[in-house]
Amino acid sequence: MPRVAVLATGGTIASSKGADGTSVASRGVQDLVAALGAGDVAVEARDVLQLGSYLLAHRHLRLIAEAVAAELARPEVDGVVVTHGTDTMEETAYLLDLVHNSPKPVVFTGAQRPADAADTDGPANLREAIAVAAASRARGHGVLISFAGRIYAARGTRKAHTVAPAPFQTADGGPIGRMDGTDVRFAMQPLRPPALPLPSTAFDSTRVDVVSAYPGADAALAAAAVEAGAAAVVIAGSGVGNGNHALCAWAEEAVRAGVVVGLSTRVAEGPVVPYYGNGGGADLMRAGAVPLGSLPLFQARILLALLIAGGRKPDGQLLDPYL
């Protein structure tokens, strides 16, 4: 019988209403697993955290990465499931994908409706995620997100709807697999860039901020980020990654001072491309901003933080296999 380790971190899948009527992550992993009943997979369950994912800091992401690595290292474990809030699942799942160095599947899941709701989607999502983690077909695909019958590669996948029961979308793509009843099916296999080392404690304090371009935006927030200790600032440019004259002038100075300036886009899908001058993306890149391809904005932030925490200077060549 395949063996799957379920690691719980909180999120709506573990949430129920408190006295004030708001939902808070308050259920342990044994509650989640007890709702499943017996199946044909041996399940071991352990709590790592019990937090809404909107509360996570880098140190929490590192703890999850370490807990997953410890399970993957056990020969008797065939796969790992991580239950996690959906708000920032794209960040944690992508971090784990970047450091994933095993054929065994790691499968993230969660819920959009709390554990005490009559129509909670948690048990069905967890049952499916366990089936994916136990499936030999899921080996070699890296870190996956299994949600509402669909299976996504972590890289490129983001939360695209606040409340929909299937809230995830892959930029310029779709699910790579699905549940056919209880059967796990894949239609494609993600390309896997070389695995990076696990985050060290330096990751906890590596500050990478995001500032947006919008009509009338100046560089005050970008400058404040550097002042607060940011090692890198990601500009969420408009369109193909455009800024304005104020952001270009700031970027030139920041790059000269040793700050990494990443260039992403506030648009949901599509790459950053140096089409425009007069304060546009081409000028930001001339100022030294590094383009972050079509990686979703908040995954690009994680990539820079992991590289910088590992003592690497993210330039075009280093970033290329990950974009």
Ligand X SMILES: NC(=O)C[C@H](N)C(=O)O
Q: Is 12 a catalytic residue?
A: yes
Question: Which stretch, 50-58, 63-71, 93-101, 224-232, contacts ligand X (CB under 6 A)?
Answer: 50-58
What is the C-alpha to C-alpha distance for residues 12 and 86, in angstroms, rounded to an integer?
Answer: 8
| Number of residues in contact with ligand X under rule CB under 6 A | 10
Q: The tokens of 115 are what?
A: 């554990």
Among residues 43, 31, 184, 224, the alpha carbon closest in space to that of 111 is found at: 31
3-state helix, strand, coil in the chain (%, to 5): 35, 20, 45
What is the C-alpha to C-alpha distance for residues 243 and 277, in angstroms, rounded to an integer?
Answer: 10
Contact between 122 and ligand X per CB under 6 A: no
Q: The tokens of 67 are what?
A: 């807990």
Question: Which stretch, 83-91, 97-105, 218-226, 296-304, contacts ligand X (CB under 6 A)?
Answer: 83-91
Question: Which stretch, 79-87, 123-131, 180-188, 243-251, contacts ligand X (CB under 6 A)?
Answer: 79-87
Tell me whether residue 53 is annotated as binding: yes
CB environment 197-207: b (16+ within 10 A), e (fewer): ebbeeebbebe
Q: Is 92 a catalytic residue?
A: no
Minimal distance, residue 298 CB to ligand X, in Å? 13
Q: Could you say which of 83, 86, 120, 206 is catalytic?
A: 86
Minimal distance, residue 62 CB to ligand X, in Å? 18
Task: Identify which of residues 12 and 244 has a Cβ nearer to ligand X in the complex.
Answer: 12
Per the CB < 8 A criterion, the answer to whether 210 and 237 are in contact is no
Contact between 280 and ligand X per CB under 6 A: no
Tell me whether residue 205 is annotated as binding: no
Catalytic residues: 12, 86
Residues in contact with ligand X by the rule CB under 6 A: 11-12, 52-54, 85-87, 110, 112
